[in-house]
Amino acid sequence: MEAATSPSHMTEEEHRRQRFWAAARHNLTAYIFLAPILIFFVVFMALPVVWLFYLSFQHDGILAPAQFAGLDNWRRTFSDGLVVKCIGNTLYYCVLAIPTVFVLGMIVALSLQGVRRGAALLRILIYFPTLQASLIVALIWTFMIHPDFGLLALSIRALTGVKVNFLGDPHFAMPTIAMIEVWKGLGFWSILFLSGLLALPSDLYHAAELDGAGSIRRFFSLTLPLMKPTFYFGVIFATIVNLQLFDSVFVLTDGGPVNSTATIAWYIYRSLFTFSDPGFGATLSFLLVIVVLALTALQTWLMRERTP
Amino acid sequence: MSVTNTRGVNRRRFLSALAGSTAFPYLFRAESTRAAGLSGKITMIKGPHSADEAKYEAEIIDDFKKANPNADVDFTTYDWANMNAQLTAGFASGSPPDVEYLVDLVYPAYAERGLLQDMTTLVNDPSWKSEHDAIQPFAWELAKSSKGTWGVPVLGAVYNIFVNLDLLNAAGVANTWNKSYPDLMAAAKATTKGDTFGFSMRTRVSDYAFWDWFPYIHNAGADILNKDWTANGLAGAEDAMQFLIDLHKAGVTPPVGSVDWQGQFDLFKAGKIAIYHGETPEINDLLTTPPPFKWDVAYAPPGPKAQTVMGNFGILSIAAASKNKDLAWAFIKHWASGPEVGRFAGEVNLQVVRTDIVDKLYLDKPPMQKIQKDFVPRVKGVQPHPKILTMLQQIWPVAESAYLGSVTGKEAIAQMGEIINKLAA
């Protein structure tokens, strides 16, 4: 006697239900292993984002009960001149820092690629600044750029006769912060690009050498195109991270002089903890998310266009 | 009434008599044993004024526990650089420390949101009158905001000027430099030579530069807000602002923003600044490691309306969410008492706002005594408005721009006034 649940006797509905539970049982192990991180994500990342979105339509909500503010915070965001300045400063910093660290990182990676003896030690030394806390890096550079005894300041004065006011001049303050961040991040990007270079197929280079291609031709015709996936990842990752610049600004300039180093992340912190305006801070946070998503989408679209 | 004869006495009267007989001796016990009835544990948070802050606080707590053996106080500190963030997190948690040491710049925002206990009734209790009256009136004004009194003023730091007497004497301006603003400019120019500057004051927002700016504004009869806090009160400060701009344009100061406050103090100690805007805790540094020149403390020259000194003061407050307000109040009274606050101030080199212990303080530190006796009475502090810190942080970029020569004094005051008006509305 055939079982009532054998496939040939099941209705469409029963068949669909059976397939569903079979798939669920099959994935159960995966779900169990993913559960802790999913719970962590929901509790500590997703829910706060939802709460942040709710706060952007409120006045207060942290130190005092929330009061519905409608679109007040959003209207303020788009009419506040300092918001525009912060976005401009942040993008300016990204334009300074990202290409610089990429070019320097690639130069260091290409140099390291050819090193056989002592390569491991060199990589550790190059990566060392990346491991330092932002506060330590800021303190080191405070001494380096001190106008009276800073090594960098004195070197520039000796070579050019010019006394540079690194952090006090609005024209130099953000480039100075970019320089410090590039110094800190160079190790990370060098190692990342080095790993990309080491993964490139060597037979292509042998073939190119046999065909008479020189080192420069091989670099532009082979290395750069083959490194595109690494660069794509790097540009998007660097953009997301650098749009959130805060540590160096907070320690070195606190947004000054004359708001020339005020960034979006800095203004979010100020809104929340100095100005006690969490609704406005939450709105700025969402604005930052929108800017990051928009730039990331633009970059992804531009880079996809150029992929053969 | 005999409690053994219950005939004709109902239960209510008997119990009343019993309660009365047991309460009778309690009513006439000594103050300390009655206070020994206070029990429980409270927490206190304060910013550190010394590397040995915990040790000095332990002395105060131990003395308190001698009189209150059933009470305990847990002391912790917040980090000054992250004071706002840590206090906000503490209050937002719903269980903040019972007692907070809050500076005049930040407590009004918490008071406005109902996070602090209004202590008006407590501090005006007739039994505490002598202690209340020992604290200077200006300090009580600093503790008042949003129609309440939010703490007991205890300590402060005066922002004084330090002068290199050797440099001033060599230039022949030691007796004239602080007679007027033109004299200050002349002295600064006379003492500026090579890599030595005649004058320095804070300019960076991260250094809270407005503390050095305030005396010149106050001396012009102006302030951040007008009398009823409805609009800015900066009218009249245009010339003072222009004077400060001219000082920076004259080349008598380090390049604007090039050296932070600590760097300026280091330059002063090295004999590279003649007139330096500092603060009183630096006096101990100079006394411990004397620089290679004679120095003294001073305040800014008189302006058209006054000759004031700026100071930054702290109060001891009770959190509205505290579950043991009685114990918190008892501890604050103890902390603010003459012997305790006097000892603490002497250990950390700060000023007290009490008048009754001034003669006993800093007998071995004449500059500190001079500050306490001569400077503190001249203090005109900050207006404790809930948005005062926001106002100061938002107007400061205008001041930076002015010091860099981008705007005149009149334009700077007008721009600052607009920012303050928007926030005060």
The predicted-structure confidence for B243-287, as pLDDT tens digits, reads as follows 999 999 999 999 999 999 999 999 999 999 999 999 999 999 999
Dihedral in degrees, nearest 10, Cα atoms B300, B306, B311, B312 = -130
Is the Cβ pair A273, B84 closer than 8 Å?
yes
Which residues neighbour B43 within 8 Å (Cβ) at sequence distance 6 or greater?
Answer: B73, B74, B75, B76, B97, B98, B99
What's the confidence (pLDDT) of residue B1? 36
* pLDDT(A5) > 80: no
pLDDT-based confidence at A65, cuts 50/70/90?
Answer: confident
Task: Give the number of other Cβ atoms within 10 Å of residue A245's Cβ.
Answer: 23
Nearest CA in chain A to B391: A275
Min CA distance, A28 vs chain B (Å)?
38
Token pair belonging to B361: 């303080």
* pLDDT(B4) > 70: no
* pLDDT(B177) > 80: yes
Euclidean distance between CA atoms A44 and A51, whole angstroms:
11
What's the residue count for chain A?
A: 308
- The owner of tokens 């004084």 is B160
Euclidean distance between CA atoms B328 and B97, whole angstroms:
10
Is the Cβ pair A257, B92 closer than 8 Å?
no
Assigned domain for A1 exists:
no
Same-domain status, A96 and A229 = yes
Beta strand extents in B17-172 (DSSP E only): 40-46, 71-77, 99-103, 144-145, 148-149, 152-159, 161-164
Q: ipTM of the predicted structure?
A: 0.82
Same-domain status, A92 and A46 = no
In chain B, residues with a C-beta closer than 8 Å to the C-beta of A168 are: 203-204, 255-259
Q: Which helix (H) or strand (E) holds B317?
A: strand B310-318
* pLDDT(B3) > 50: no
Does this chain's domain B37-156+312-372 share its CATH topology with B159-310+383-424?
A: yes
Q: Are B398 and B158 in contact (CB under 8 A)?
A: no
Min CA distance, A96 vs chain B (Å)?
22
Nearest CA in chain B to A62: B92
Mean pLDDT of the region A284-297? 90
What's the confidence (pLDDT) of residue A119? 87
Indicate which of A258, A268, A269, A277 best probes the interface with B, i.e. most B CBs within 10 Å of its own CB.
Answer: A258
- The owner of tokens 């590279």 is B272
Indicate which of B258, B272, B385, B396 best probes the interface with A, i.e. most A CBs within 10 Å of its own CB.
Answer: B258
Is the Cβ pair A258, B400 closer than 8 Å?
yes
Mean pLDDT of the region A90-100? 96
Token pair belonging to A203: 């037979």
Residues 261-290 of chain B whose Cβ lies under 8 A from any Cβ of chain A: 263, 267
CB pairs under 8 A between A and B: 89
Which has the minimum average pLDDT: A93-102, A199-208, A255-264, B289-298?
A199-208
What's the confidence (pLDDT) of residue A31? 87
What's the confidence (pLDDT) of residue A135? 86
* pLDDT(B26) > 50: no
Whole-number percent of chain A with pLDDT over 70: 96
What's the confidence (pLDDT) of residue A147? 81
Three-state SS at A80? coil
What's the confidence (pLDDT) of residue B46? 97
Min CA distance, A277 vs chain B (Å)?
10
In chain B, residues with a C-beta closer than 8 Å to the C-beta of A162 are: none
Euclidean distance between CA atoms B331 and A212, whole angstroms:
86
pLDDT-based confidence at B65, cuts 50/70/90?
Answer: very high
The CA-atom distances, in angstroms, between B375 and each of B61, B345, B372, B378 are 30, 16, 6, 5
Whole-number percent of chain B with pLDDT over 90: 86
Q: pTM for this one?
A: 0.85
Euclidean distance between CA atoms A75 and A79, whole angstroms:
6
Three-state SS at B224? strand
Which residues neighbour B344 within 8 Å (Cβ) at sequence distance 6 or greater?
Answer: B56, B59, B60, B155
Give backbone dihedrals phi and psi of B143, rounded to 5 degrees, phi first.
Answer: -90, 0
Same-domain status, A18 and A146 = no
Same-domain status, A97 and A170 = yes
Three-state SS at B99? strand
Task: Give the number of other Cβ atoms within 10 Å of residue B18's Cβ.
Answer: 11
* pLDDT(B116) > 70: yes
pLDDT-based confidence at B30, cuts 50/70/90?
Answer: very low
Token pair belonging to B74: 């847990």
pLDDT, tens digit (0-9, with 9 covering 90-100), for B133-150:
999 999 999 999 988 999
What is the identity of the amino acid at B128?
A: W
pLDDT, tens digit (0-9, with 9 covering 90-100), for B280-295:
999 999 999 999 999 9
Name the residue among B115, B258, B401 with its Cβ closest to that of A168: B258
The CA-atom distances, in angstroms, between A207 and each of A28, A111, A202 are 49, 22, 9
Three-state SS at B424? helix
Name the residue among B110, B206, B255 with its Cβ closest to that of A256: B206
What's the confidence (pLDDT) of residue A25? 81
What's the confidence (pLDDT) of residue A62? 85
* pLDDT(B2) > 80: no
Indicate which of A148, A154, A156, A166 best probes the interface with B, i.e. most B CBs within 10 Å of its own CB.
Answer: A148
Q: β-strand A58-59 against A67-68: which pairing, if any?
A: antiparallel
pLDDT-based confidence at B159, cuts 50/70/90?
Answer: very high
Dihedral in degrees, nearest 10, Cα atoms B336, B337, B343, B347 = 0
B360: left (phi over 0), alpha (psi -120 to 50) or beta: alpha
CATH number for the domain whose boundaries are B37-156+312-372: 3.40.190.10
Three-state SS at B307? coil
Q: What mean pLDDT value characterizes chain B? A: 91
Is the Cβ pair A256, B389 closer than 8 Å?
no
Same-domain status, A286 and A156 = yes
Q: Which architecture, in CATH terms, is B159-310+383-424? A: 3-Layer(aba) Sandwich (3.40)
What's the confidence (pLDDT) of residue A148? 79
What's the confidence (pLDDT) of residue B11? 53
The domain segmentation of chain B, as residue ranges, is 37-156+312-372, 159-310+383-424
Same-domain status, A11 and A124 = no
Same-domain status, A121 and A202 = yes
β-pair partners for B315: B102, B153
Same-domain status, A151 and A220 = yes
Same-domain status, A32 and A169 = no
Name the residue among A169, A269, A274 with its Cβ closest to that of B389: A274
Which one, of B38, B42, B53, lies nearest residue B345 by Cα?
B53
Q: Which helix (H) or strand (E) holds B351?
A: strand B351-352
Euclidean distance between CA atoms A74 and A286, whole angstroms:
10
Euclidean distance between CA atoms B65 and B72, whole angstroms:
7
Helix A228-242, helix A170-198: angle, nearest 10: 150
Name the residue among A165, A270, A274 with its Cβ closest to that of B258: A165
Euclidean distance between CA atoms B64 and B97, whole angstroms:
18
Residues 238-277 of chain A whose Cβ lies under 8 A from any Cβ of chain B: 252-259, 269-270, 272-276
Q: How far apart are the first and last CA of chain B?
A: 67
* pLDDT(B21) > 50: no
**Bigger pLDDT: A116 vs A187:** A187
Same-domain status, A20 and A96 = no
pLDDT, tens digit (0-9, with 9 covering 90-100), for B346-392:
999 999 999 999 999 999 999 999 999 999 999 999 999 999 999 99
β-pair partners for B144: B149
**Bigger pLDDT: B309 vs B38:** B309
Assigned domain for A257 exists:
yes
What's the domain count of chain A?
2
In chain B, residues with a C-beta closer than 8 Å to the C-beta of A142 are: 260
Three-state SS at B354? strand
Name the residue among B92, B203, B396 with its Cβ closest to that of A62: B92
What's the confidence (pLDDT) of residue A305? 56
Structural domain of residue A34, as residue ranges?
A: 7-55
Min CA distance, A295 vs chain B (Å)?
29
Which residues neighbour B228 within 8 Å (Cβ) at sequence distance 6 or greater?
Answer: none
* pLDDT(A79) > 60: yes
Euclidean distance between CA atoms B388 and B382, whole angstroms:
8
What's the confidence (pLDDT) of residue A116? 83
pLDDT-based confidence at B22, cuts 50/70/90?
Answer: very low
What is the identity of the amino acid at A81?
A: G
Which one, of A155, A177, A151, lies nearest residue A90 by Cα?
A177
pLDDT-based confidence at A23, cuts 50/70/90?
Answer: confident
